[in-house]
Amino acid sequence: MVRHLYIHVPFCHRICPYCNFYKHTPGGTDQNAFIHSLLAELKMRSRECNLAPETIYMGGGTPTTLSIKHLDKLLEGIADTVDLKALTEWGIEANPATFKRDKAQLMRDSGITRVSLGIQSWTPTTLSTLGRDHSPEDARASFETLRACGFKSLNIDMMFSIPGQSPESWLADLEHTVELSPDHVSAYNLNYEEDTEFFDRLSQGEFQEDTSRDVAFFTHTTEILGQAGFEHYEISNYAKPGHHSKHNSAYWSGADYLGIGPGAFTTFQGTRWRNIANTTEYINQVTRNNLAGLVTEYEHIDAAAFRAERIALQLRTKNGIGMDILAASENKINDLADEGLIKKRDGNIVLTEKGKLLADSVASHLL
């Protein structure tokens, strides 16, 4: 049985130069055919995987770029297709200025409990560097609209270590975020991902990575959000009590999940596959009832790969990782503890504050 569902909506009005998700502008895509395909795939796969979701997450792309009519059709179709009795969290990614009160209210009335709003920064110059098409005023208005609709949990996505961003402006961004009293904040260090404009600009020497700057930004983040009452429960995630992301927590713990839509990944009973990352071709294959033709990447996750993923993901969480999963020798663990990077707590290995800054490297030593 699969208890977690992800739905990928690849449309964005504007493409951010640092983003490597599968996304594109809506262009000439037939939106009716797209929604129909998502629901048809969901119907076929949910039987195959015996889906009874406790969490649903709709990401992308930007699902809130869908018109009210199409979003309504999608949300209603999900509720008609899937047994939602066990559902405890239904999340959606949204960008400022892609919805007004009527669309937000539709999401709320359709059962969505959690909205993740991609604000990234409150500083106009930083938003411009990131290629975002919203203003700080748009972001504030969108957040207030969501609050007024009564969603159970609101997350704000923020980003630091952006070219040209000063520590002072990041502090101001954090303070601005705290003022709005969200229930959850995700604060990501900018990554230069391959096949993005930012990666090219880094490769050409126009942008530089700076580890000491990253550390300063991260330290500001943990301090300011900690003082504001957020629990730092994963390296990039901070929650007020009762507002942890259940969907992401399931993913970090290695639970199976079903991914629907172009470019979506599924992990099911020791296998992982990816749907074709081409919306037109995705619609064509679903229309032909050809589930096999949807899958472009398929891998068996053996015990070693599963363990490596567990270590990489769970080590980033507050509860860390159980000793039973680690293959590292006691000496290796003691060495990392002596360096002040990890500590033992309740039978688990957890990162120290210093270790959080070097999480990937610590994980590689624990494999």
The span of 10-18, 257-265, 283-291, 351-359 binding ligand SF4 (CB under 6 A) equals 10-18
d(CA 210, CA 213): 5
Nearer to ligand SF4, 188 or 273 (CB): 188
Is the sign of the CA dihedral 7, 12, 17, 22 positive or negative? positive
List 3, 4, 8, 23, residue binding ligand SF4 (CB under 6 A): 23
Minimum distance between the CB of residue 14 and ligand SF4, rounded to whole angstroms? 7
First to last CA, the chain: 29
Minimum distance between the CB of residue 24 and ligand SF4, rounded to whole angstroms? 9
Minimum distance between the CB of residue 120 and ligand SF4, rounded to whole angstroms? 8
Minimum distance between the CB of residue 122 and ligand SF4, rounded to whole angstroms? 17
List 21, 192, 199, 268, residue binding ligand SF4 (CB under 6 A): 21
Residues 110 to 129: which contact ligand SF4 by CB under 6 A? 118
List 37, 46, 55, 62, residue binding ligand SF4 (CB under 6 A): 62
Our finding on whether 60 is near ligand SF4 (CB under 6 A) is yes
116, containing H or E segment: strand 114-120
Our finding on whether 65 is near ligand SF4 (CB under 6 A) is no
Our finding on whether 12 is near ligand SF4 (CB under 6 A) is yes
Nearer to ligand SF4, 165 or 314 (CB): 165
Evaluate whether 263 touches 22 at the Cβ level (below 8 Å).
yes
Our finding on whether 97 is near ligand SF4 (CB under 6 A) is no
List 37, 46, 64, 95, residue binding ligand SF4 (CB under 6 A): 95
Q: Which residue has 């409150």 as its token pair? A: 122
Minimum distance between the CB of residue 326 and ligand SF4, rounded to whole angstroms? 34
Residues 185 to 214: which contact ligand SF4 by CB under 6 A? none
List 15, 202, 291, 295, residue binding ligand SF4 (CB under 6 A): 15
DSSP string, 208-257: ---HHHHHHHHHHHHHHHHHTT-EEEETTEEE-TT---HHHHHHHTT--B
**Under DSSP, is residue 61 helix (H, G, I), strand (E, B) or coil?**
coil
Our finding on whether 19 is near ligand SF4 (CB under 6 A) is yes
Tokens of 59: 């990401």
Query: What is the 8-class DSSP label of residue 339?
Result: T
Tokens of 186: 């995700």
| CB half-sphere exposure, 144, CA atoms < 13 A | 7
Is the sign of the CA dihedral 272, 30, 39, 155 positive or negative? positive
List 2, 16, 75, 190, residue binding ligand SF4 (CB under 6 A): 16
Gyration radius of the chain's alpha carbons? 21
Give residues in contact with ligand SF4 (CB under 6 A).
12, 15-16, 19, 21, 23, 60-62, 95, 118
